[in-house]
A and B are shown apart, each in its own frame.
Chain A
Amino acid sequence: MASIDIAPGAGTGAHPPGPIQRVTLLASLGWFAAVAILLFWQDLTFQPLVRELALVWGAVGGVLVVLGLGGNRLGRVGRWTAQRAPWLLAIGIGAAIWTVLTAKTGILPQPFFPTPQAMLEVFIYDWPKILHSTSFSVWLLAKGFFFGAVAGFLIGVGMGWSRAVSYWATPLLRYVGPLPATAWLPLAFFIFPSSGSASVFLIAFSTAFPVAVLTWSGIASVNRDYYEIARTLGASPLFLILRVAVPAALPHVFVGLFMGLSTSFAVLVVAEMLGVEAGLGWYLQWAQGWAAYANMYAALFVMAAMCSGLITLLFRIRDRVLVWQKGVVRW
C-alpha cells in the first residue's frame, strides 16, 4: 500500500529542510520574465493597462521572492508554496507565453484570443457586473441544489425503507429520472410563474435523480446485522431509519450529491442562457452578443472557479461528516 502512496511533494522538488525554496525563487524569475516581455517588447496594436498589468505580475514575482527566501521557516505558508512551486512557475511561464502569442506576435489572432491586458481591463471595469452575476448564479444553484438534494434524499430513503414507496416511485424514477433536466426547459418556463423559479425547479430536478438513486441503493445495501443488533438493543423503526440506515448509507448519498452537483452546473448555465436574465450564463450570452471575447473568457474563468469551489466545499463537508471512513476506505 505504501508503494502506491503519493507522498506530498513527490516530484515537486520537495526540499530537504533547508531554509530557501529554490523552485519558488525560480517561479518568481518566471513572473519577472513575463513582466519584462510585457514592458520591453512592442505590442502589435495599442493595449490598455500595460503598466498596471506589469505591476500585478511584478507583485506576484516579488511575493514569490519573499516566500522563496523565507522558505520552510514560514511554517504552513512555506509548506504550501513548497508544494505548489512548480505550478507557480508554470503559470508565470504561461503568462509570458500568452503575452507573446497574443499581444506581441499575433500568432493567436485578435479579438478571438484576448491579450492579458484586455482581460485585466474586463476585470477592472466590469467587476461589479461579474460579481453580481456570480452571486446570482451561486444563489440560484444553492436553492435548486438544496431542494433537489433534500427531495432526492427523502425519495431515496422512502424507497429504501418502504415497499409501498418503492413500488410506486421506482417506475417513475426509472422512466422520468434519466430525462435530461434541460429537456423540461421550454415547459418549465411556461408553467412556472417566473424564470427564476423554473430554473430552481430544473436544477432541483437534475440534482434529485442521482441523489435519490444513490441514497436508495445505499440504504438497500446496509448490512442486515446492523438492524438486528439495533433491534435487540431496543431501537424503534424511526431510530433504525435515522440512526442506522441513514448513517450507513451516507457514503453513497455523497456520491449522489457529487453527481447531482456536476449535472446541476450544466442545467444552471443553460437555464441562464435561455431564460433567466442574470447570472454567469446570461453574462456569457450577453458578451457573445457584443462580440466581447475578453468578457467571455473572464466569465468562463470565474465560472470554473465557482464550480470547482463548490465541488471543493462539498468535499470538505464530506470529509467532516464521514471522518469515520478514513482508514476504512482509501480516499
Chain B
Amino acid sequence: MRRAKFKAAAVAFIASATLASATLASAPAQAEIASGAVLANTCFSCHGTDGKSAGDMPTIAGKSEDFITRKLKAFKSGELEATIMNRIAKGFTDEEIAALAKFFSRR
C-alpha cells in the first residue's frame, strides 16, 4: 500500500516534469508535484481515482498510451462523437494529452 503510493507520486512527478517542460516554460521551474498529477486528478471525479471507475463511467486506467492519445485527439477534433468528452478534450493541448495518456496508461 505504502509502496504503491510512493510509486504513484513518482509517476505523477514524471508526468508533471514532462508537462512542465512542454507548457509551463515561463512558470517557476521548481514545482515538485505539479500540473501533470493535478491534470490527471481532475479527471478522477468522473473516471475514478487513478482512472478506475466506480460506476457507469469508462475505466481508463491501464489503457495503452496510444489508445488514450488517439481517443482524446479524436474527441478534441470532433471526429469521435461523445456525450461530454468533446467539450472536455478541447480544453487540453496536445502536450497535455500526451502527459495524461502517459499517466493513465501506467495506472
Q: Do A and B come from one complex?
A: no
